[in-house]
Amino acid sequence: MKQLVCLEPGSFEMQEVAKPQRKQGHALLKIKRIGICGTDLHAFEGTQPFFSYPRVLGHELSGEIVELDSDEGGFKVGEQVTFIPYYPCHKCVACRNGKPNCCTNIQGAGVHIDGGMAEYLNVPQYALIHGQGMSYDELAMVEPMAIGAHAVRISEIKQGEFVIVTGAGPIGLGAMAFAKIKGAKVIALDVQDSRLEFAKSNFGADHSVNAMNNPVEAIQEITGGEMVTTVIDATGNLRAIEGSLNYLAHGGKITLVGLQLEKFSFAHPEFHKRETTLRSSRNATREDFDHVIDSMKAGTVDVKSLITHRSTFENLVENFDSWLDPKTGVVKAVVNLD
């Protein structure tokens, strides 16, 4: 089979290797779609934490089951599925406390272990998610949507509150969609007007603010001077993270989904007087994946508009560089393997 290996930052190699044998307790999938994530792009750039090379990237995946270990979970050969691509140890303190998404010994496909930029992939059977009649395109979008859904869930957003989501990429768009489902009044914050318009047109943002044009004044006007009670950062950008306190109401909370390599800081008096809650949001749980599937089936989240660019597996290397350039207008690129 073919697999694409990131040998080191800036270097890909298409390799011909033996088709994997199904492992015990695993399902063997024939990969049909690969969503290109910010993690993949950052790994290629050399700016992704928790990473070592060489690595087969890819964790936003859908495929067909070609072999199964057992009929546990009601899965069948030939079924269209996706899966939860971060594998916990089931034993550590986080796992014992119901937080397998931040397991001490987590193994993330395409990050800590090889992922799905390949024609076939072994997946632990416990990680499989039933396709429920959805297309391969839709199933490949479940994981990035689950990241946004998880951030919204742990932020404990309430009906009617103002929420800012910074960053109108796929993760931010997912957070906007699920904040809207919770009944929030959503403000999209980004530096690209085209992405802000996309957020309003396709993912339910009530308001949009360009971060380059006096955002504090704009947010004051939108909120009647009270500012927002929740900020969800989906950029990982240092300036955006440190600026998030400027938009926050007293008693508010900040949830960081985007990942920043460097240290960040807040002026403690400003942080303290708000009694600010600061937390990170890592990965997602089966509860979040189920919520995404249910929302997609109900029509409250439409992921089809996310996919703006496509490539065949054979042409992936030559197309990958262009997706690093915001000028291409890429929101989500998807690789077809059929």
At 216 the pLDDT is 98
CA–CA separation, 308 and 310 (whole Å): 7
At 267 the pLDDT is 96
At 42 the pLDDT is 85
At 329 the pLDDT is 87
Buried b (16+ CB within 10 A) or exposed e, 181-190: bbebbbbbbb
Contact 267, 136 (CB under 8 A): no
Residues 6+ apart with CB under 8 A from 40: 57, 58, 110
Residues 132-166 have pLDDT tens digits of 999 999 999 999 999 999 999 999 999 999 999 99
331, two tokens = 């929101």
Spans in the chain with pLDDT lower than 50: none
- What is the sign of the dihedral through the CA atoms of 105, 82, 41 and 178? negative
CA–CA separation, 182 and 162 (whole Å): 11
148-280 CATH fold: Rossmann fold (3.40.50)
Specify the pairing of strand 277-280 against strand 248-256.
parallel
At 110 the pLDDT is 95
At 6 the pLDDT is 95
At 286 the pLDDT is 97
CA–CA separation, 48 and 51 (whole Å): 6
Q: Tell me if the domain spanning 2-141+303-336 has CATH number 2.40.30.170.
A: no
At 14 the pLDDT is 95
At 201 the pLDDT is 95
Report the residue count for the chain.
Answer: 338
Residues 49-82 have pLDDT tens digits of 778 899 999 999 999 999 999 888 999 999 999 9
209, two tokens = 């603010």
**Sequence ranges of the domains in the chain:** 2-141+303-336, 148-280
